[in-house]
């Protein structure tokens, strides 16, 4: 069931029909490959617009403790890079939503950038989110993504210079990932006011679509973010639900959190 919707059109549709898009993150292979696929499909079936599938990595510098523990367990259970393509294929066969792979850059380099891009396309993925890759060091990925038509999502943070913001806007395709807080991911009681500033600066730089991540864990926070951003990215809350309550827990949490995307 490979979707005809791109990430961009999916976000645009969500903003036309509702308050905005919800992007849901889960790590591939946690607690095992099949369960991670079932959980991702459950996100799509319960209102999540775009799936962000994390590639487990041994040095996840941006991930908080919940996601780190899940990645460690996935790797300990033998997860390998090549398995992410099978997971994406299984998800896109069952769910009509775009799937972006979130990965640190070193595994892509080791695998081979062109080979990674080709295997992403074959699996039905929409593109990559690359948290530790900056546009001016992304020449090879820019070339591969142009050749294959894959989306490339770069990050912008409160600490980003105006020049870096403009680079992220110019280089990204799909959306720009606005990091709402300094530090690592994880649910927080209140989404940082810094997020509004980051999004405002990205708008000034001409961004077409920007989604806010890091720290969103309630429907109220989703609604708050969608007042000024095009999408809200939820990660740790879904990973915790999977750890505590399994696939049904993920489904229930998604159904709850996506109510924040309804227009009041």
Strands (E), the chain: 21-27, 50-54, 99-102, 127-129, 151-153, 155-156, 176-179, 210-213, 231-234
Burial code (b: 16+ CB inside 10 Å, e: under 16) for 203-230 equals eebebbbbbbbbbbbbbebbbbbbeebb
Of 45, 66, 46, whose CA–CA distance to 54 is shortest?
Answer: 66
Burial code (b: 16+ CB inside 10 Å, e: under 16) for 81-117 equals bebbbebbbbbbeebebbbbbbbbbebbeebebeebb
For 149-214, give the DSSP string: T-EEE-EE-TT--HHHHHHHHHH-BS-EEEE-SSS-----SS--THHHHHHHHHHHTT-S-EEEES
SS3 231: strand
Q: State yes or no: is 63 an active-site residue.
A: yes
Given 38, 49, 52, 119, which residue is catalytic? 52
- Inter-residue contact 107 to 134 (CB < 8 Å): no
Given 38, 63, 119, 224, which residue is catalytic? 63
Residue numbers annotated as active site? 52, 63
């Amino acid at each position: 069931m490979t979707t005809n919707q791109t990430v961009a059109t999916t976000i645009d549709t969500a903003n036309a029909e509702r308050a905005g898009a919800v992007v849901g993150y889960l790590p591939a292979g946690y607690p095992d490959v099949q369960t991670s696929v079932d959980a991702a499909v459950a996100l799509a079936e319960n209102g999540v617009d775009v799936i962000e599938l994390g590639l487990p990595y041994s040095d996840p510098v941006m991930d908080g403790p919940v996601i780190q523990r899940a990645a460690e367990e996935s790797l300990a259970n033998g997860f390998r890079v090549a398995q992410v393509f099978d997971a994406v294929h299984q998800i896109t066969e069952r769910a009509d939503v775009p799937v972006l792979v979130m990965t640190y850059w070193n595994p892509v380099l080791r695998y081979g950038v062109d080979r990674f891009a080709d295997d992403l396309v074959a699996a039905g993925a929409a593109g990559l989110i690359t948290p530790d890759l900056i546009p001016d060091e992304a020449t090879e990925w820019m070339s591969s993504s142009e050749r294959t038509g894959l989306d490339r999502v770069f990050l912008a943070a409160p600490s980003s210079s105006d020049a870096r913001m403009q680079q992220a806007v110019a280089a990204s395709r799909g959306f720009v990932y606005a990091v709402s807080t300094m530090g690592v991911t994880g649910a927080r009681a209140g989404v940082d006011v810094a997020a509004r500033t980051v999004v405002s600066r990205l708008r000034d730089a001409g961004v077409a679509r920007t989604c806010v991540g890091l720290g969103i864990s309630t429907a109220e926070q989703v609604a708050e973010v969608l007042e000024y951003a095009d999408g809200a990215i939820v990660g740790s809350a879904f990973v915790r639900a999977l750890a505590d309550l399994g696939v049904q827990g993920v489904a229930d949490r998604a159904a709850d959190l996506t109510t924040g995307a309804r227009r009041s």
